[in-house]
Amino acid sequence: MSLPLAEVGFAEATWILIVKSLLIFAVIFAIVPLLTVVERKVLGRFQARYGPNRVGPLGMMQPLADAIKLVGKEPYKPDNATGFLWAVAPMIVVFSAVTTLAILPFGDVRDGVGLYGIDTSIGVLFFFAFGGLSFYGLVLGGWASGSKYSFLGAMRSAAQLISYEISMGLALLGVVMMSGSLSLTEIVHAQEPIWHIVPQIVGFLCFMVAGFAETSRAPFDLPEADAELVAGYQTEYGGMRWGTFMMAEYIEMFVVSGIAATFFLGGWMGPGPPVLDPIWMILKILGLMFVFFWVRATLPRVRYDQLMSLGWKVLLPLTTLNVLVTAILVVAT
């Protein structure tokens, strides 16, 4: 059995890459503020109330008002914060979140232009590499704040993210074995007969649970457990620095949903002409985001030991078993 090598014959002009990156940036940065208000509205509906509906039509100008408020705040820095690291931490987080957007495929190659930032042959590893980089932002931010709450929150998030990263990787490994490639476009192409969610339902569920933990969303929002840790690593941040952390969280959520849609829900594939491909991808991502909101509206925050035991005692064995069974089946067929 020969492993397929990475496709390196396909290269795009530099200006196309620049245009594509600007476009992805613009679209995502338009979607993310809307997501914050959509989340609040959806969460409100789940709680039998309306959510924000005062600012602009349907409350859709709420993120603008929030942004103006955040930008207008005093850039306060605690006395015993380590200045440079403290300032750079939110940048690292948002950088690592945004970079991962590059590999999300919104469509196939069309007229010599791929509807994705870049099709790396190491797609999954890229995702995990930059996901891992965002820990540095959290941990540095927590430590450099010079506050106990921040430090404890950062320690928690480090432990949480590291333990769930493993299950997340193993959950994706089944799909990688089935499609025989790490490239995200190849993985989508491999789903032409049937979406991977059908044979890999265990992997999908484990990935989503690990994804909730990875993005520190409810019920695994322990790093920012406001009842016990004030706001975790974000405690000493205010104004747009805090806004950057929040933005990174939403982008990460978008990325995790995008990866889940690519790996399990057939990526850009859907009925209709190929023009609709990016629409299908975005719809799938938004559907998964809705699941994020739904779970947030439903589940209470788990205790720290429960979080750890779920990660190591349930998710890890489950995903390992999934990988083993998939490996046996892939070899057998």
Task: Kindly list the residues in this chain that would bind another protein in the complex (CB under 8 A).
Answer: 42, 44-50, 294-295, 297-299, 309, 314
Closer to another protein at the Cβ: 231 or 297? 297
Strand partners for 105: 116
Closer to another protein at the Cβ: 46 or 136? 46
Cα dihedral 121, 125, 128, 134, rounded to 10, equals -70
CB of 105 to another protein, least distance (A): 29
**Whether the Cβ atoms of residue 203 and residue 172 lie closer than 8 Å to each other:** yes
CA distance 117 to 93: 19
User: Hey, is 300 helix, strand or coil?
Assistant: coil
Please give the structure tokens belonging to residue 105: 């495929």
Closer to another protein at the Cβ: 44 or 270? 44
Closer to another protein at the Cβ: 122 or 321? 321
CB of 49 to another protein, least distance (A): 5
CB of 95 to another protein, least distance (A): 34
CB of 42 to another protein, least distance (A): 8
CB of 221 to another protein, least distance (A): 16
CB of 324 to another protein, least distance (A): 17
Closer to another protein at the Cβ: 94 or 208? 208
CA distance 118 to 16: 11
Please give the structure tokens belonging to residue 172: 């994706």
Closer to another protein at the Cβ: 49 or 110? 49
C-alpha distance from residue 244 to each of 3, 98, 129, 137, 145 (Å): 41, 12, 20, 11, 16
CB of 129 to another protein, least distance (A): 31
Closer to another protein at the Cβ: 93 or 206? 206
- Where residue 48 falls (left for φ over 0; alpha for ψ -120 to 50; beta otherwise) is left
Q: How many helices (H) and strands (E) does the chain have?
A: 12, 2
CB of 212 to another protein, least distance (A): 11
**Whether the Cβ atoms of residue 205 and residue 174 lie closer than 8 Å to each other:** no
CA distance 230 to 242: 14
CB of 53 to another protein, least distance (A): 8
Closer to another protein at the Cβ: 273 or 300? 300
Closer to another protein at the Cβ: 152 or 315? 315
Helices assigned H by DSSP within 47-110: 62-71, 83-100
The DSSP-derived string for 114-153 is EEES---TTHHHHHHHHHHHHHHHHHHHHHHTT-HHHHHH
Strands 105-110 and 113-116: antiparallel
**Whether the Cβ atoms of residue 122 and residue 204 lie closer than 8 Å to each other:** no
